Amino acid sequence: MKFTKTDITDTINGLRSQLYQELTAPIDGMWEILYIGSSQHYLIEDDISTIGYCCINDEKCLTQIFIIKDYLALMEKVIKELISKEIIKSASLSSNEPVAFNSCLFHSKSVKANTFCFEHLNQKIDIDTNINIELVTIDDIPSVKKFLKEQVGMDDTFGYTENLVERKEIFMHKESNIIIATSECRMSDSQPEIADLGIIVNRDFQGKGIATQIMKMQVNRVLEAIRRPICSTTFDNIASRKAIEKSGFYCSNIIFDISFKDL
């Protein structure tokens, strides 16, 4: 079994397209962009055939893996070799990839929930009060980046906010020039039927139902665009989970951190 480093090529994109067709639930957009997208990609080769690919980050954590159907029985062997060759020490995988997930569980030393991923019931929601949300503009980028840094510790030095502004997919709610909340509504490129929603509320204004109201507005926006809304939150963010569930979402899969025992 060989694991060959590669850039994201047509081969990788073709294999990833097959993976997305087989997932039991949509893949979380934030996870896809920030974690999987920044990982090193490898082709998995058996003798002379390419049988799949995997993604491994700088901490030797497996963030995605796919084996084509004809070789799926080799998944457990592939995971075992990745561990024994010390190419990976851990994995962060979703339960929406059951074969890979189960193979990693077989070699696990510990398992911990990381992120809850949600799908929507796809029914338009009645809204009591519309909160004014506006598109973030180029001029707003510095203040939005400062907000993200202060509220969630996100140091956006890699153009994430700029990209969302260019795509017209980030909004904010302000009062007296204070950012109360930001909201992302990302129309997925890799999953054309999906839109990812995300909301961050200023800590000084939390507990007032703002997140729920904005989430409901964004859900209706996505449904009107004839897409399906999805979102996610970390396992320990109880307030976020309540706002998500009040907006018509249900948990369809969970991303787990899995550490491996020595082989």
Residues 22, 106 share a domain: yes
- Residue 231: closest CA among 67, 70, 57, 30: 30
pLDDT at 112 over 80: yes
Residues 98, 42 share a domain: yes
Pairwise CA distance, residues 52 & 75, whole Å: 10
Residues 106, 134 share a domain: no
Number of domains forming the structure of the chain: 2
Mean residue pLDDT across the chain: 95
Residues 130, 59 share a domain: no
Residues 235, 143 share a domain: yes
pLDDT of res. 128: 77
Mean pLDDT of 193-216: 95
Instruction: Report CA dihedral (136, 140, 145, 147) to the nearest 10 degrees.
Output: -90
Residues 182, 83 share a domain: no
CATH number at residue 56: 3.40.630.80
Residues 232, 136 share a domain: yes
43-84 confidence digits (pLDDT tens)? 999 988 999 999 999 999 999 999 999 999 999 999 999 999
CATH number at residue 148: 3.40.630.30
Residues 126, 109 share a domain: no
Residues 167, 82 share a domain: no
Cβ-proximal residues to 159 (8 Å cutoff; 6+ apart), any chain:
none
pLDDT at 123 over 90: yes
Residues 127, 104 share a domain: no
Residue 11: give the domain boundaries: 2-114+256-260
pLDDT of res. 98: 95
Pairwise CA distance, residues 190 & 194, whole Å: 9
Residues 76, 140 share a domain: no
